[in-house]
Amino acid sequence: MAKKDYYETLGVSKSASESEIKKAYKRLAMKYHPDKNQDNKAEAEAKFKEVKEAYEILTDPQKKAAYDQYGHAAFEQGQGGTGGFGGFGGFAGGAFDDIFSDFFGGGRRGSQTETRGNDLQYNITLSLEEAAAGVSKEIKVPTWVSCDTCHGQGAEKSSDVVTCNTCHGTGVVQMRQGFFAVQQECPTCHGRGKVVKNPCKKCHGEGRVQKTKTLSVTIPAGVDTGNRIRLSGEGEAGLNGAPSGDLYVQVQVKSHAIFERDGTNLHCEIPINIVLASLGGEVEVPTLNGKVSLTIPAETQTGKMFRLRGKGIKSLRGNAIGDLYCHVVVETPVNLTNKQKELLKELGESFKADKNAKHSPKEKNFFDKVKTFFG
């Protein structure tokens, strides 16, 4: 008897996407589920088998290509069939996992699973100077490490680790419900396929013990808050010799008393007195690598910004170095002596007397705008 066309079986077109094929398969699998067809169970099982076979072919790119070119002949005489049904016990893999997971919230578990150790995170706080220059830090991390007595195997000696008699080393057991054959994690070995006859006395058969590790971490120059450094294999040791997780060092850079960071650039305020701002001169400004001299031109106003190239922070992903931006703040003098007050009054009177001079360009500009505003 000729087999029905796989596309026709699922009720989809040859141009149907994988998601459309899967959607059709789920709908038909529910329709022909034996529990929903108690009055005609044999026919439902046959339909379910057809639907599953069509789904497995059309969702495998190689099998689908062969089917589209040669039809059912591509899978005759052992030429790449569906993996063999072997009765309905063959339903425990592949496509059935998807539909079973959707129906019942579970699915087939892999055999001989290894419980990899957990990843860990360590938060480290750096000064701006340390982040800019790079630094090596020693950190102490409480974690699980491989047992040095049994070397992670969990047993007193190697011969004490034997194949599980329940699952015969596969890590899974098969449970039948009607015509279904469902694989689950072995309850005896918990998916490992091995059991320990005489557990190690130090680690009690887990293959790992708790310990505080001391590690040296190299922090590269240019790190910033939010950057993470991965130390492979320095997380928790896995159970019974399984691989260790990783350790992630999370960086936090403290705020600085002088500098404010913006990527690779730095900003700082430079306060100067009115004499220096008016007449100009030299002022020392700080950088992360010491002081430098900055020339202040005459008649400098508050808010004037000076750029010092290459005085910022090195890029974490290259050799480029940012700049330092100095923002001038002209200070009003305080705690004046009587003589100083008299000198300022004299200076103010001289400004009034010189009517043609523009000693305060921003002030004049502001009041011109006020006059215009009020008409």
Q: pLDDT (tens digit, 9 = 90+) per residue, 214-230? A: 999 999 999 999 999 99
Residue 366 tokens, joined: 């502001």
> Hey, CA dihedral for 28, 33, 36, 42, is it positive or negative?
positive
**Higher-pLDDT residue of 195, 357:** 195
Contact 153, 207 (CB under 8 A): yes
pLDDT at 181: 65
- Residue 177: band (very low, low, confident or very high) from pLDDT cuts 50, 70, 90: low
pLDDT at 114: 60
Task: Give how far the C-alpha of residue 254 lies from the chain's centroid of Cα atoms, to the nearest Å.
Answer: 23
CATH 1.10.287.110 residue ranges of the chain are 6-104
Contact 275, 300 (CB under 8 A): no
- pLDDT exceeds cutoff 70 at 31: yes
CATH number, domain 6-104: 1.10.287.110
Contact 9, 15 (CB under 8 A): no
- Tracing tokens 């689908």 back to the chain, one arrives at 64
Q: How far apart are CA 79 and CA 54, in angstroms?
A: 16
- pLDDT exceeds cutoff 80 at 3: no
pLDDT at 1: 54
Cα distances (angstroms) measured from residue 219 to each of 43, 122, 224, 230, 342: 68, 13, 10, 11, 57
CA atoms within 13 A on the CB side of 6: 27
Over residues 52-105, the pLDDT tens digits come to 888 888 888 878 887 887 777 766 543 433 333 333 333 333 444 444 444 433
CATH 2.10.230.10 residue ranges of the chain are 120-253
Over residues 130-159, the pLDDT tens digits come to 999 999 999 999 998 999 888 888 888 888
Over residues 312-324, the pLDDT tens digits come to 999 998 889 999 9
- pLDDT exceeds cutoff 60 at 311: yes
Q: Which class is domain 120-253?
A: mainly beta
- Tracing tokens 């971490």 back to the chain, one arrives at 217
Residue among 164, 316, 295 nearest 251 (CA): 316
Per cent of the chain over pLDDT 90 is 41
**CATH architecture of the domain covering 270-331:** Sandwich (2.60)
Task: Give how far the C-alpha of residue 248 lies from the chain's centroid of Cα atoms, to the nearest Å.
Answer: 10
Contact 295, 302 (CB under 8 A): no
- pLDDT exceeds cutoff 90 at 233: yes
CA dihedral angle for residue 285, residue 291, residue 297, residue 303, rounded to 10 degrees = -20
Over residues 151-164, the pLDDT tens digits come to 888 888 888 888 88
Per-residue pLDDT averaged across 247-271, rounded?
Answer: 96
Over residues 113-124, the pLDDT tens digits come to 467 889 999 999
Q: How far apart are CA 358 and CA 232, in angstroms?
A: 67
Per-residue pLDDT averaged across 280-291, rounded?
Answer: 94
Summary mean pLDDT of the chain = 82
Per-residue pLDDT averaged across 3-16, rounded?
Answer: 87
Residue 231 sits at φ, ψ, to 5 deg, of -110, 100
- pLDDT exceeds cutoff 60 at 175: yes
pLDDT at 23: 87
Pairing of strands 180-185, 172-177: antiparallel
> Hey, CA dihedral for 167, 169, 172, 174, is it positive or negative?
negative
Q: How far apart are CA 17 and CA 37, in angstroms?
A: 29
CATH 2.60.260.20 residue ranges of the chain are 270-331
Over residues 39-59, the pLDDT tens digits come to 787 888 888 888 888 888 888
**Higher-pLDDT residue of 308, 81:** 308
- pLDDT exceeds cutoff 80 at 268: yes
pLDDT at 179: 56
Residue among 227, 220, 252, 221 nearest 321 (CA): 221
pLDDT at 133: 95
